[in-house]
Amino acid sequence: MSVLTSTAAERRPARIDFSRPILYGFAAILIVLIVLPLSWLLLYSVTDRAGSLTVENFIRLFSESAFLDPLITTFIIATSSSFLCCAVAAPMGWLVARTDLPMSHVIRALVTASFVTPPFLGAIAWELLAAPNSGLLNKIYRVVTGAPQDEHLFNIYSLTGIIFVISCYTFPYVFVLVANALDRTPGELEDASSILGGKRWYTARRITIPLVLPALIAGALIAFLQAMTLFGSPAILALPAGFHTMTTKIWSLFQYPPKPELAAAASLPLLVLTIILLRAEHMILGRRGYSVVGGKYGTPRLIPLGRGRWPAFALCILVLLNPVFLPYAALLNAAFAPVASHFLTFSTFTLHNIEFVLFELSATKLALRNTVILGTATATIGLLIALVIAYVTARKAVTGHRLLGFLATAPVAIPGIVLGVGLFLSYTRPPFVLYGTLWILLIAFLTISLPSAYQQLQAAFRNIHPELEDASRILGATRLQSLRQITAPLLRTSVIATWCFIFVGVMRELSAAIILFTSETKVISVLIYDLNESGDLGAISVIGIAMLLITFAVVIMVNRIPGFGVTSVRLRT
Amino acid sequence: MHCKQFSRRNILKGTAALTFSAVAVRVAAAPAAQAVTPALIEAARKEGKLAWYTVMDLPVAEKMAKAFEAKYPGIAVRVERSGSERNFQRIAQEYASNIHAVDVINSADAAHFIVWKRDGWLAPYVPEEVARHYPAEHRDPDGCFATSRVWLSSLGYNTNLVKPEDAPKSFADLLDPKWIGKMVKGHPAYSGTIMTATFQTARDLGWGYFEKLAQQKIMQVQSSTDPPKKLALGERAVMADGNDYNLVQLKESGRPVEVVYPTEGTPLIVGPNGIFKAAPNPNAARLFHSWLLSLEMQQFLIDFTGQHSTHELVKEKPGRTPLSKIKLMKDDPAGVEAASEEIKARYSKIFRI
């Protein structure tokens, strides 16, 4: 079957006139999007201020402790977060996918909630909860145990604190991969093992674990990358503790007097490491095909937990307290309490912060407007580009479609802050002076959201068999007509979902925006970061809650669309 | 190939240019003082908006913006608040990319006005009240800026966490091991207040003081508005630097904080206000500048924000410590201008951040 359709598809392009212009046009767009910033980045990293070639930047990078320490810190944070995420997400993924855990859809929804919570907002909420002296949890601890004023249970301004907070908002990546892999694992293989006398643990060790291992390792790599390239959480928690990570160091190099050449050089290790790890992920996941050889299986059989059902559920909720319940409660408390570190009571309840944000804070309106404009524009344009490229590659409509597919996925390997530095270097000079306009942010957000949009739509196209289009064309429709009448209606849900998730992704983007914004192109995430630097926690809580409400409205809208699994989408920060 | 204002050679050239322009400017007379005329108000209303880059505590700045909008309806003020050093970098970057967004600038680092004036970025404009009521040392002889407010970078403590008799009285007291892990301070690469205070403290007490302070495991925040807020939250017991006026406001609203003016002298911060030559809303900018320096608003700054004014007609608010009763360190914008890069580099080396 597949052989037949692919030859049919390959025979067609010869007759299509517009295929070449499309290929060249889109390849050109993608090359400008990706290659231009990376070229400037490379060039800057090997030049000095006078513009002559030098390796001085790299010598400084790898000899001065001001750069080496953040590099080591980043490595420790990324490795530990990755382990922690796997340790939490793998058992949870198994419970949700393979056991009769009660209310597993609730658990999935809560994981989605932690997934879409902006990590920088989570970090600020955790400041409110676990700052050593004013943190609400530490206050409770002191009241309960009668410990003296200067004793504390948690200190969020520490290496462990940062690892914990990063893991809170990174573990969903691992969870999704593991749960999806387990959903796909055929139960018959486990049954066969049991029938042949394998004990439960033996079956797990020889069948289940090897089948999920590739997904788990891929999840570990993704978690590592996320933790390594995150900007907001370390900037909020590591700087007060007195140390830098690579991302905060790169950002600090833009303070006056700016040192763009050092920032470029410092960005390269992140870029190289990301590419290496993504190659590794690809190699590992590339092998997963063996698990589905042999046609279609029934849905996996759920393992009864017996009396352990509710304790297991409680355990999951206990884990989800950390990314969802506690931080949201802390934000709500800070939004309505007169002092962010005081517990809200009926007598102290105040709308002061809401009034301030709505009626006094003059940046709110502008930032909100910019965010909505950018979200809408990025989602719409990104969707169109992804749609065309996904169609071309899924239907192999143009020779050279592989190149387009590669280019559309390539930005995955560019961490947000690195892209920010590259775009800054590219568009602050003639002929394209886009700095100071929303265009530069649009380009950044488009580049960042393209890979996941493309992958999602490509998968959607694969699910629609070309036979349907072929039938339409045999009956006399042109290619565009059959696209409009046959393919488009079938794709509608995926298209809407992709649009919404690009939009949500734009709302929580901070690491590229922090390099690229100007006073008139500020977005909500940057505004929140600004407010954190001046210590205005009440205002942050109000804006943060508003941001979460918009995000959830969008996510719920997507969930209403039948047949779409929210958790299959990858968001980046 | 790199942007012009980043190169060291250009900075040196600029310094040379300062010497010459200072001579050239002496010849020209200071511009005539300008009253707020109905024509100016009308022209400002036509522009309908202005962008005020400021470093004042955000709620204070927004409150002032609302007061301006109430007095001159139809002119919207957009407050662009960040640290002085951030704003300095932002404006340099925006101007390098030909973006002229800023109308009025208010900074905590008076040294920045030396640089902007030297680069020819500031528009001379002398409001009538400035010419009449401001002492000569608080207005630029060429009319490019005038002191809009004065405040201090003080010490302070949370009265729930520290008894008055145990509270530090001096910078030297902060080096006591009992304060390890209990202090919070701002960052000179973000805040002009902290930059100015670091310059004065290092000049008077030596860098050795900061080297010892760095051993005390301080909590490093960015803005000089943040240490007072961290005290009010109860997150840290003592602040090693930060705005005294935030503490005054917090104390007067019933929060458990207290200001300490250290016995060695308190760093004095002078915050000028000026208009940019390339301001997109020049008339609104002039109106705002005149209004901010008027007696009405200067008295507002004293009464409601706990800062000080150099307007000769303002009255100190009863119950506050008058500036004359506080031992002050001497401010020196030119000194800060010359040393700012070194201060940032040295600070980040000592505090490793």
Confidence label for A210 from pLDDT (cuts 50, 70 and 90): confident
Position A558 pLDDT exceeds 80: no
pLDDT in tens, A167-197: 999 999 999 889 888 887 777 777 788 888 8
A450 burial type by CB count under 10 A (0-12 exposed, 13-18 middle, 19+ buried): buried
pLDDT in tens, A527-552: 999 999 999 999 999 999 999 999 89
The token pair that represents A150 in the structure block:
């200067």
Q: Do B352 and A356 touch (CB under 8 A)?
A: no
CA distance B67 to chain A (A): 11
Supply the pTM of this predicted model: 0.89
Residue A281's pLDDT is 79
DSSP codes, B148-212: EEEEEB-EEEETTTS-GGGS--STGGGGSGGGTT-EEE--TTT-HHHHHHHHHHHHHH-HHHHHH
What domains are defined for chain B? 30-151+269-321 (3.40.190.10), 154-266+338-351 (3.40.190.10)
| Phi, psi at B150, each rounded to 5° | -135, 135
CB contact A52 to B (< 8 Å): no
Q: Do B217 and A242 touch (CB under 8 A)?
A: yes
Contacts 24+ apart (CB under 8 A), B110-113: B110/B196, B110/B270, B110/B271, B110/B272, B110/B331, B110/B333, B110/B336, B111/B195, B111/B196, B111/B333, B111/B334, B111/B336, B111/B337, B111/B340, B112/B84, B112/B88, B112/B192, B113/B140, B113/B144, B113/B145, B113/B272, B113/B274, B113/B333
The length of chain B, given as a count of residues: 353
* A contact test, residue of B104, B235, B288 with most A CBs within 10 A: B235
The number of beta carbons lying within 10 Å of the beta carbon of residue B314 is 18
Mean per-residue pLDDT over chain A, rounded: 86
Q: Which residues of B touch A360 (CB under 8 A)?
A: 59, 62-63, 66
B178 backbone φψ class: left, alpha, beta (φ>0; ψ -120 to 50):
alpha
pLDDT in tens, B103-112: 999 999 999 9
**C-alpha A120: how far from its chain's center?**
13
Q: Which residues of B touch A52 (CB under 8 A)?
A: none
Residue of A223, A207, A135, A122 lying closest to A508 (CA atoms)? A122
* Minimal Cβ distance to A239: which of B86, B99, B220: B220
CB contact A563 to B (< 8 Å): no
Specify the DSSP class assigned to residue B126: E
Distance CA A523, CA A516 (A): 10
Q: Tell me which H or E stretch contains B220.
A: strand B219-220
pLDDT in tens, B41-95: 999 999 999 999 999 999 999 999 999 999 999 999 999 999 999 999 999 999 9
What domains are defined for chain A? 7-44+369-520 (1.10.3720.10)
Cα dihedral sign for A372, A373, A379, A382?
negative
Distance CA A62, CA A384 (A): 43
pLDDT in tens, A379-412: 999 999 999 888 888 877 777 778 888 888 888 8
Helix B333-351 with B192-205: angle, nearest 10 deg: 90
Q: Do B352 and A242 touch (CB under 8 A)?
A: yes
Q: Do A240 and B255 touch (CB under 8 A)?
A: no
A211 burial type by CB count under 10 A (0-12 exposed, 13-18 middle, 19+ buried): buried
Residue B209's pLDDT is 98
Close Cβ partners of A235 (under 8 Å, ≥ 6 residues apart): A120, A247, A248, A251, A529
Residue A298's pLDDT is 58
pLDDT in tens, B122-170: 999 999 999 999 999 999 999 999 999 999 999 999 999 999 999 999 9
Distances (CA, A) of A389 to A31, A138, A363: 14, 52, 38
Residue in chain A closest to B60 (alpha carbons) equals A360
Distance CA A152, CA A140 (A): 10
* B contact test, residue of A69, A262, A526, A533 with most B CBs within 10 A: A533
Residue A286's pLDDT is 67
The alpha-helical segments, DSSP class H, found in chain B are 8-27, 38-47, 58-71, 84-96, 111-118, 128-133, 192-205, 207-213, 226-233, 244-252, 282-292, 295-305, 333-351
Beta bridge partners of B81: B54
* Minimal Cβ distance to B101: which of A150, A239, A518: A518
Residue scoring higher pLDDT (A330 or A560): A330
**Please, are residues B137 and B180 in contact by the beta-carbon 8 Å criterion?**
no
CA distance A292 to chain B (A): 52
Residue A2's pLDDT is 39
* Minimal Cβ distance to A49: which of B6, B182, B235: B6
Position A22 pLDDT exceeds 80: no
The number of beta carbons lying within 10 Å of the beta carbon of residue B32 is 9
CB contact A362 to B (< 8 Å): yes
**What is the value of ipTM here, to two decimals?**
0.88
The token pair that represents A540 in the structure block:
């942050």
Q: Do B353 and A530 touch (CB under 8 A)?
A: no
Confidence label for A304 from pLDDT (cuts 50, 70 and 90): confident
pLDDT in tens, B255-267: 999 999 999 999 9
Distance CA A20, CA A113 (A): 43
